[in-house]
Structure 1
């Protein structure tokens, strides 16, 4: 899997294979109708669920207001504020480190664990994590970020190593696990949280992540369970219950369930049918507004249990797949089946407002 989050394209790419087909849900005529409820055993009490979320710097004020509005549900907010440039350099995105936002989230009882991401050239991150000296330098650089504000820890979202080839992936996998282990140990000495964001491990993806070592070192392991279909691939759902089943079957075999956060999408892709053009990114809110604007009926795909629609744009037929509250509610029973009660949302401000209700009652 190759994943990068960028300001404009906001790319999140996952190369994966779908799992087995589940029984279909009836199609819905309108999203305003009742959403499906997660299934549980008779008399079983639902375990408490926590929600974390990333806060995008390009929509910071709106995302911050939403976080405060749902403070009773939020465990952690991770502002998408920092970008690794080299072992000894971490740059700030616009608005990064806002003390007003950090203090406001803290007053609301929300932990603030900013994300450090990277979009380094091929091989650059691998060169850092496999060199002991550069690893040590980078740990010190990350600790400076944590100490720069009243942060509760840090979230590493380092994705460019994901497509590492056969000849090097074991060395890169071990080097990254060592970097995380060293960083988490230092953070814990400061009483800070260590969070790591990773790609899903399936039959064909995720081998560069040593889930067992990362899960042992970190407080939370965030699995980006989205982009089964992505901007540069063929149209289709971002996730399916069957794919979630495969992801969690592997993840729970290697990581304690209480440390797992399942990443939920609040966005979609708008593809030109039959063309090789890169798909347009749409938030869940934008997708639903577009559906209503073009007059497309609301439909839930019976296999993936996610909404989708088609429309015409200047002579081009386009298809949109996205996730909303109804679709997410149909996916959550898989998490319950595996005893995974923590989720993380990409991203604040993207979501269907009804999603918060579904997360609260799931």
Structure 2
């Protein structure tokens, strides 16, 4: 049985029973999220509950670092200012190490999305500098990367991530193979397997397979129809919640073969038609099979704030989880 790395992102507000249910199946726990200042400071996270629970279960707790400012808001402007300033980057690297040592974390996971294209190389250098300082001390350095299909892919979420250079540096790279179906987008599977394959085909051409973690969604969306671009906002929901809703409305769950994902439609009490795309035991198994097919290091779940037993059931049926 193949042994794989499994990571999962969690907020400190996670229900204790949900966290304890997930921990036996995790290698890394991503504590979401620490933030940054333009000068290279680290915005702390009150995550002692996550750290303690992780170590008790033999899981490595990681500092997830995103461009959150001191108000808790994602701020790409701050990220650009920081990345453009070599001294600020050095300050950040030193502050990362101090925070990890002070709190007893196992390492850092960089999750900088929408990196300005002009700061693409600066971001590589930040990760490289961090690895050079933290690696010799036994800390892990990982990064989450946008789901690209080529290096030339256009779009603000893609252009700032250099797969090859970042892949050379980090211990593991999580490829965010989810959010095709998303809050403001048209109804579709969150992680359609035909699209995931395209991303993995590119990823393995740039990053060593033994470093790649494939993103796994632990949620679905409910869209009210008709979809109106710029107006429709899908409701995010757990897979368990989706099953409950299908049952409540007496909806038939249909499995889409192309995307390898389930969906159903229903009419609410006001007569509005809805469509729900989510994950079930079949879609989970189909995605997890790609780890073996592509010979990847493992998977990373976004996120583990809800517990869906099928995730654990299929994971343990197919693989053994690595404990470091």
The TM-score, its normalising length taken from structure 2, stands at 0.87
> Could you tell me how far 1:189 is from its partner in structure 2?
2.6
Unaligned runs of 5+ in 1: 1-45
Unaligned runs of 5+ in 2: 69-73, 319-324
Following the alignment from structure 2 to structure 1, what is the Cα–Cα distance between the partners of residues 242 and 35?
28
Distance 1:56 1:293, change over 3 A: farther
1:124 to 46, 59, 78: 78
Q: Which residue of 1 aligns with 2:313?
A: 357
1:294-314 deviation per Cα after TM superposition (whole angstroms, max 9, x unaligned): 221122112111111112222
Q: Which residue of 1 aligns with 2:298?
A: 342
SS of equivalent to 1:174: helix
SS of equivalent to 1:59: coil
1:216 to 142, 161, 168: 168
Q: Which residue of 2 aligns with 1:304?
A: 259
> Could you tell me how far 1:181 is from its partner in structure 2?
0.5
> Could you tell me how far 1:147 is from its partner in structure 2?
1.7
2:129 to 182, 187, 190: 182
Q: Which residue of 2 aligns with 1:83?
A: 35
Distance 1:87 1:241, change over 3 A: same
1:237-279 deviation per Cα after TM superposition (whole angstroms, max 9, x unaligned): 1122221211111111111111111110010111111233211
> Could you tell me how far 1:347 is from its partner in structure 2?
1.6
> Could you tell me how far 1:175 is from its partner in structure 2?
0.7
**Aligned-residue RMSD, C-alpha:** 1.9
The TM-score, its normalising length taken from structure 1, stands at 0.79
1:278 to 228, 233, 244: 233
1:116-146 deviation per Cα after TM superposition (whole angstroms, max 9, x unaligned): 2224434331221122122112212222221
Distance 1:293 1:84, change over 3 A: farther
1:286-331 deviation per Cα after TM superposition (whole angstroms, max 9, x unaligned): 2222222222112211211111111222232111111233211122
Instruction: Using the TM superposition, name which of 235-244 and 114-123 deviates more.
Output: 114-123
Conservation of the 8 A alpha-carbon contact between 2:175 and 2:215: yes
> Could you tell me how far 1:351 is from its partner in structure 2?
4.3
> Could you tell me how far 1:62 is from its partner in structure 2?
3.5
Following the alignment from structure 1 to structure 2, what is the Cα–Cα distance between the partners of residues 182 and 252?
24
Following the alignment from structure 1 to structure 2, what is the Cα–Cα distance between the partners of residues 101 and 262?
23
> Could you tell me how far 1:60 is from its partner in structure 2?
4.4
The answer as to 2:59 corresponding to 1:104 is no
The answer as to 2:177 corresponding to 1:225 is yes
